Amino acid sequence: MLFLAMKQLFSKKTQTFLILMGVSFGTMLFVSISGVQLGLREYMIKALLNNTAHIIISGAENEITEKEVRSQIYPEGRFINWITPPGGKRDESKLESYLGWVEILRANPDVYDFSPRFSTNVIIKSKKIKTNVNLVGSLPKKQIRISEISDYIIEGDFESLSSGGNKIVLGVGVAEDLGVSLGQFVDVLNAFGKITPFKIVGLSKFGDTRTDSALAFAHLSDVQKVNRTPGRLSEIAVSLTDIDKSEELAELWSSFSKDKVQDWRSANAMFMEMIKMQDIVRYFIMFSVLIVAAFGIYNVLSIMINQKKKEIAILRSIGFPPKKILILILYQGFFLGICGGVVGLAMGSLVTYGVGSIDIGVELGGSNHIFVSYDYSIYLSAFIAALFASLVASLIPAYMASRMTPIDIIRGQA
């Protein structure tokens, strides 16, 4: 039947070509729109993960509870009516047992690497200008491994921090506010007003002005020293080999520790909501496009069946059963779907490539091109959808064709 199906399709070249164009165009549209959307998303996730990480382990809030206080002061079972129940924080939150975590993280094959961090608010001063900055201390080599931080360093380099000895990477905004540049020194003031000079070894730019004018990086031990809290950590940033396991692992780890374990998704719930919306829009586009393509296929096949009634009658009188007539038409729909789909995928990837190479004149994360994605899942879903649409669209004409009896057709002709 394949032989006949192909013969019939190719005898109507213009029609076949037009509908192929339709299917291809739909598939192309979906592939390129998805490519740009997912590319942008990948970029945003990447940018997001620089400030967070797949999983952040931080110290739990150190709250004073009513029960604790009561058991300290009053004997068991005594009823107490507080006018104001005891509450508030006992201490700033800090990570309970770093070494315990190191053991857990090292033993887990899903953990790619992790970096302990300690961040604190400081004032950075140059001559008479001061600015408030969140100073993040990390182990630079580890931080480079678990994030894309290097991509966002526009001058100097992040790795220079690794030797320690009071070196600092400033956000470009900070450097601008202070009027300093690479190689110069700035003064870092801690909460007690003590000044430590730091040498600028790099400038970072994330593209977000607020971040860039309020963020600085230094070696973990330098920051601990500035804050006079040697050994203190605020968090451990964990990078996994598979980002999709972050939720699962975060849940597991928080179940056996007092520390707060949060995965990047729950830390960025708003962003995830937006992604969901984008997906809905994308699938809506795909759905609409496919409906159009399906109507095209349906039309072409219906017209073709009308034109080929006589031939269907001949095939039936020769002994081709209705089932084979059905298959004959389905094959043609399938062919349109597969070919249109494949061509559409190719065109879609070309368009994606084209869009990806447009220079938008704005630098984003180390490149001034629109981010695009060539993720295989886009191509797979587009192809499956094209195939599905063409199959559904050819079912009705195929069924109608198989239901026609040779006599009705011949009578209709005569």
Partner 1 sequence: MIIGKNIVKEFGDPPHRILHDLSFVIQDGEFVSISGRSGSGKSTLLYIISSLDFPSSGQVLFDDEDTSLMSVEHIHEFRTNHVGFIFQFHYLLPELTGLENVLLPPRNIDRVDEFRDRALELLKTMDVSKVADKLPSQMSGGEQQRVAIARALIMKPKYLFADEPTGNLDSANGEVVMNILKSINKERGTTLCLVTHEEEYAAMAQREIYLIDGRMSERG
Q: Which residues pair with 115 in a beta bridge?
A: 237
Q: Minimal distance in Å, beta carbon 311 to partner 1? A: 5
Q: Which is nearer to partner 1, 207 or 406 (CB)?
A: 406
For 103, the token pair is 């053991």
Q: Minimal distance in Å, beta carbon 400 to partner 1? A: 17
Q: Which is nearer to partner 1, 25 or 320 (CB)?
A: 320
Q: Which is nearer to partner 1, 84 or 413 (CB)?
A: 413
d(CA 218, CA 208) in angstroms, rounded, equals: 20
Check: CB of residue 46 under 8 Å from CB of residue 365.
yes
Q: Minimal distance in Å, beta carbon 321 to partner 1? A: 4
Q: Minimal distance in Å, beta carbon 310 to partner 1? A: 6
Q: 140-145: long-range contacts at Cβ-Cβ below 8 A with a sequence spacing of 24 or more?
A: 140/217, 140/219, 142/113, 142/114, 142/115, 143/115, 143/117, 143/217, 143/237, 145/112, 145/113, 145/115, 145/239
Q: Minimal distance in Å, beta carbon 323 to partner 1? A: 8
Rg for the chain, CA atoms, rounded:
33
Q: Which is nearer to partner 1, 3 or 192 (CB)?
A: 3
Kindly report the three-state secondary structure assignment for every residue of 382-404. Answer: HHHHHHHHHHHHHHHHHHHHHHC
Q: Minimal distance in Å, beta carbon 394 to partner 1? A: 19
Residues that bind partner 1 (CB under 8 A): 3-4, 7-8, 10-11, 310-311, 313-322, 324, 405-407, 410, 413-414
For 215, the token pair is 């963020």
92 phi and psi angles, rounded to 5 deg: -70, 155
Q: Which is nearer to partner 1, 67 or 403 (CB)?
A: 403
Q: Which is nearer to partner 1, 280 or 407 (CB)?
A: 407
Residue 375, CB-side half-sphere exposure with 13 Å CA sphere: 17
